[in-house]
Protein backbone atom coordinates (compact mmCIF):
# COMPACT_ATOMS: atom_id res chain seq x y z
CA UNK A 1 0.00 0.00 0.00
CA UNK A 2 1.44 3.43 -0.84
CA UNK A 3 2.63 5.56 1.97
CA UNK A 4 0.06 7.95 3.50
CA UNK A 5 -2.90 6.02 2.19
CA UNK A 6 -5.12 4.14 4.61
CA UNK A 7 -6.72 0.85 4.03
CA UNK A 8 -10.48 0.57 4.02
CA UNK A 9 -10.30 -1.36 7.31
CA UNK A 10 -8.39 1.52 8.91
CA UNK A 11 -10.89 4.05 7.59
CA UNK A 12 -13.82 1.95 8.82
CA UNK A 13 -12.08 1.59 12.20
CA UNK A 14 -11.58 5.35 12.45
CA UNK A 15 -15.18 6.00 11.48
CA UNK A 16 -16.39 3.52 14.12
CA UNK A 17 -14.12 5.08 16.76
CA UNK A 18 -15.34 8.56 15.79
CA UNK A 19 -18.96 7.38 15.99
CA UNK A 20 -18.32 5.89 19.46
CA UNK A 21 -16.85 9.20 20.67
CA UNK A 22 -19.77 11.17 19.22
CA UNK A 23 -22.26 8.75 20.79
CA UNK A 24 -20.50 9.04 24.15
CA UNK A 25 -20.55 12.87 23.96
CA UNK A 26 -24.22 12.83 22.92
CA UNK A 27 -24.99 10.51 25.83
CA UNK A 28 -23.18 12.80 28.27
CA UNK A 29 -25.04 15.83 26.91
CA UNK A 30 -28.33 13.95 27.14
CA UNK A 31 -27.56 12.99 30.74
CA UNK A 32 -26.82 16.62 31.65
CA UNK A 33 -30.01 17.75 29.88
CA UNK A 34 -32.02 15.06 31.70
CA UNK A 35 -30.64 16.18 35.08
CA UNK A 36 -31.51 19.81 34.31
CA UNK A 37 -35.01 18.79 33.20
CA UNK A 38 -35.44 16.79 36.40
CA UNK A 39 -34.43 19.83 38.47
CA UNK A 40 -36.91 21.99 36.57
CA UNK A 41 -39.60 19.33 37.00
CA UNK A 42 -38.92 19.24 40.75
CA UNK A 43 -39.29 23.02 40.88
CA UNK A 44 -42.52 22.92 38.89
CA UNK A 45 -43.84 20.06 41.04
CA UNK A 46 -43.00 21.99 44.19
CA UNK A 47 -44.73 25.09 42.85
CA UNK A 48 -47.74 23.01 41.78
CA UNK A 49 -47.99 21.47 45.26
CA UNK A 50 -47.94 24.96 46.79
CA UNK A 51 -50.64 26.13 44.38
CA UNK A 52 -52.83 23.11 45.19
CA UNK A 53 -52.35 23.67 48.92
CA UNK A 54 -53.28 27.32 48.53
CA UNK A 55 -56.32 26.51 46.38
CA UNK A 56 -57.60 23.88 48.81
CA UNK A 57 -57.06 26.06 51.85
CA UNK A 58 -60.33 26.76 53.63
CA UNK A 59 -61.57 30.29 53.05
CA UNK A 60 -61.67 32.66 55.98
CA UNK A 61 -65.12 32.83 57.53
CA UNK A 62 -65.99 36.40 58.37
CA UNK A 63 -68.83 37.54 60.57
CA UNK A 64 -69.77 41.14 61.28
CA UNK A 65 -72.41 42.21 63.75
CA UNK A 66 -73.71 45.70 64.37
CA UNK A 67 -74.97 46.16 67.91
CA UNK A 68 -76.92 49.26 68.88
CA UNK A 69 -79.93 50.20 70.97
CA UNK A 70 -80.40 46.63 72.16
CA UNK A 71 -80.42 45.24 68.60
CA UNK A 72 -77.93 42.99 66.87
CA UNK A 73 -77.72 42.95 63.08
CA UNK A 74 -75.62 40.43 61.17
CA UNK A 75 -73.89 41.44 57.94
CA UNK A 76 -75.04 38.24 56.25
CA UNK A 77 -78.68 38.93 57.13
CA UNK A 78 -78.46 42.41 55.55
CA UNK A 79 -76.82 41.03 52.39
CA UNK A 80 -79.49 38.30 52.21
CA UNK A 81 -82.25 40.95 52.33
CA UNK A 82 -80.54 42.93 49.58
CA UNK A 83 -80.19 39.82 47.37
CA UNK A 84 -83.88 39.01 47.88
CA UNK A 85 -84.83 42.48 46.69
CA UNK A 86 -82.49 42.07 43.69
CA UNK A 87 -84.02 38.73 42.69
CA UNK A 88 -87.67 38.93 43.76
CA UNK A 89 -88.53 42.60 43.34
CA UNK A 90 -86.13 43.59 40.56
CA UNK A 91 -86.30 40.21 38.73
CA UNK A 92 -82.53 39.78 38.39
CA UNK A 93 -80.26 36.83 39.07
CA UNK A 94 -77.85 36.71 42.00
CA UNK A 95 -75.07 35.79 39.55
CA UNK A 96 -75.47 39.20 37.90
CA UNK A 97 -74.26 40.95 41.05
CA UNK A 98 -70.65 42.08 40.69
CA UNK A 99 -70.50 44.42 43.68
CA UNK A 100 -72.64 45.31 46.67
CA UNK A 101 -71.79 48.37 48.74
CA UNK A 102 -73.68 48.74 52.02
CA UNK A 103 -73.95 51.86 54.18
CA UNK A 104 -75.30 51.20 57.67
CA UNK A 105 -77.25 54.03 59.28
CA UNK A 106 -78.31 52.78 62.73
CA UNK A 107 -79.78 56.17 63.68
CA UNK A 108 -82.25 55.73 60.78
CA UNK A 109 -82.62 51.96 61.35
CA UNK A 110 -81.62 51.47 57.68
CA UNK A 111 -78.96 49.87 55.53
CA UNK A 112 -78.52 51.66 52.22
CA UNK A 113 -77.05 49.68 49.32
CA UNK A 114 -75.67 50.14 45.84
CA UNK A 115 -75.51 47.12 43.52
CA UNK A 116 -73.08 47.13 40.60
CA UNK A 117 -72.60 50.86 41.03
CA UNK A 118 -76.04 51.50 39.50
CA UNK A 119 -78.99 50.16 41.50
CA UNK A 120 -79.58 51.60 44.96
CA UNK A 121 -82.09 51.24 47.73
CA UNK A 122 -82.45 50.49 51.41
CA UNK A 123 -83.55 47.78 53.81
CA UNK A 124 -84.73 48.06 57.38
CA UNK A 125 -82.38 46.91 60.09
- Give the closest residue to 79 by CA, choosing from 109, 104, 105: 104
Write out pLDDT tens, residues 48-72: 888 877 777 777 788 888 888 888 8
Q: Tell me, rounded to whole angstroms, the distance of Cα 108 from its chain centroid.
A: 43
Contact 70, 78 (CB under 8 A): no
For the chain, the domains span 1-57, 65-124
Dist. CA 115–CA 125, nearest whole Å: 18
Long-range residue pairs from 85-93, CB within 8 A, at least 24 positions apart, any chain: 85/121, 85/123, 86/115, 86/119, 90/119
Q: What is the pTM of this model?
A: 0.51
**pLDDT tier at 24 (50, 70, 90 boundaries)?**
confident
Amino acid sequence: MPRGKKSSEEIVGEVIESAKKATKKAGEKAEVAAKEAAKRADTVTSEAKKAVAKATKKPLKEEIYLQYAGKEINKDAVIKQIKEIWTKELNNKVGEIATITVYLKPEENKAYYVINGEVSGSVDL
